[in-house]
Structure 1
């Protein structure tokens, strides 16, 4: 069952798709929602930043929508650019290829290619993981600004997900430093036992890390010379995506 207040709030917001600015009375007349309900919802929407009231007493969409719009646009662009590169890498290596972005203190998987990967892995589109756990998440953490990394380390509580999860802050710092030197991260049994991943960072035109891309599969495939092979492949893919996003090294 739909929540009536949420539906009515969306009805009000949808009015701004055709009108740049609306008065209180305009909204009442166009929405056919009772005056008292409109008043309460406008107060809430304004407080949350979805709309703002100008000096002319008219309501307009708030800057929050610009933020959301930019996020959606950048992530759609990222997926569209990354997907064919991910497909080509998956076809070559027959390992799962994952794409993630940072969301708060977590990473969220926004794309995955695993047609030839016969074993179901932890990763799935929409799934989240903390920034410290797993190669793909930690590669984003590793390439944040130093003050962001320090703040994260001060406030995070490290908890295990699998037998290889890093739960020691000194070890986590070493992993971050190693990634910043080598250009990639590797994980073994951090999110799921007996699985491994190798990841590289993706940068935007400002030189900011905005995503991570990884090769992932069964741990036995990520030993010895394969680490060197996979790391070079994933860094090349990450660099190609970054360049298409306007990043210049």
Structure 2
């Protein structure tokens, strides 16, 4: 890497660093002025102004008619989401473990992130043959029992989240929009989602929604097990246990 590219990389990182300093300063000192921010973080007013204008355009800060700055709606949404997710994992972990020990199968907690389901907490049993899970692993929303997350979205948001092309993973994967919309309606009416071989022929999974304090669906709690040892009676038991676990997590979040 030549010196010019090195300097560009360093400059870019420094710009992000200063931008974060600006945002934190506004958060700590609502209704502050440009001169106050520049003084607090030791930067020039023209540089701070460029950053403030960029953040204002993205909703991270907002400028009043008197020229002062405070956090914008986007920053508030980010803060609320971060707080909720931290609480969500803390509350869910012992409940996932208790549930996993009862069924001796893998349990997960997933949220919607960037149009996919994202695993943010999990429990795996010690048995040799089990479903392996990984925090941070992503899965499509249209395949598997995580479509329960899609089912509870407001209609307009749901329509935007369904991709034009639905990827096929197995012969059981739903690949048409009409079939998916009908399935999402059924899932919402049932209050749970059962998936048999939609992502993997050898996998059965069951998911139930977790409610936030305002009654909206914030996550899904799930049991995943090998298909060969999962009978219909097991699935009915899983549904009951999952609904109880989801209720405990929702209550912990203030619902």
Question: What is the TM-score normalised by the length of structure 2?
Answer: 0.83
Q: Which of the numbers 141, 148, 158 marks the counterpart of 1:139? A: 148
Q: CA 1:128/1:117 → structure 2, altered by over 3 Å: closer, same or farther?
A: farther
Give the whole-Å Cα distance in 1 for the aligned partners of 2:62 and 2:157.
31
Q: Runs of at least 4 residues of structure 1 off by over 3 A?
A: 117-123, 145-153, 161-164, 243-247
In angstroms, what is the RMSD of aligned CA positions? 2.6
Q: CA 1:98/1:53 → structure 2, altered by over 3 Å: closer, same or farther?
A: same
Unaligned runs of 5+ in 2: 1-8
Q: Is the 8 A contact 1:197 1:222 kept in 2?
A: no
Q: Which of the numbers 105, 126, 138 marks the counterpart of 2:136? A: 126
Aligned equivalent of 2:43: 33
SS at match of 2:135: coil
SS at match of 2:65: coil
Is 1:229 matched up with 2:237? Answer: yes
More moved, 56-65 vs 168-177: 168-177
Count of equivalent residues: 245
More moved, 237-246 vs 46-55: 237-246
List aligned pairs for 1:95-174, cutoff 5 A. Answer: 95-116=105-126, 118=128, 121=131, 123-135=133-145, 137-150=146-159, 152-153=161-162, 156-174=164-182
Aligned equivalent of 2:196: 188
Question: What is the TM-score normalised by the length of structure 1?
Answer: 0.84
More moved, 42-51 vs 122-131: 122-131
Aligned equivalent of 2:23: 13
SS at match of 1:16: helix
Give the whole-Å Cα distance in 2 for the aligned partners of 1:39 and 1:180.
48
Q: CA 1:57/1:173 → structure 2, altered by over 3 Å: closer, same or farther?
A: closer
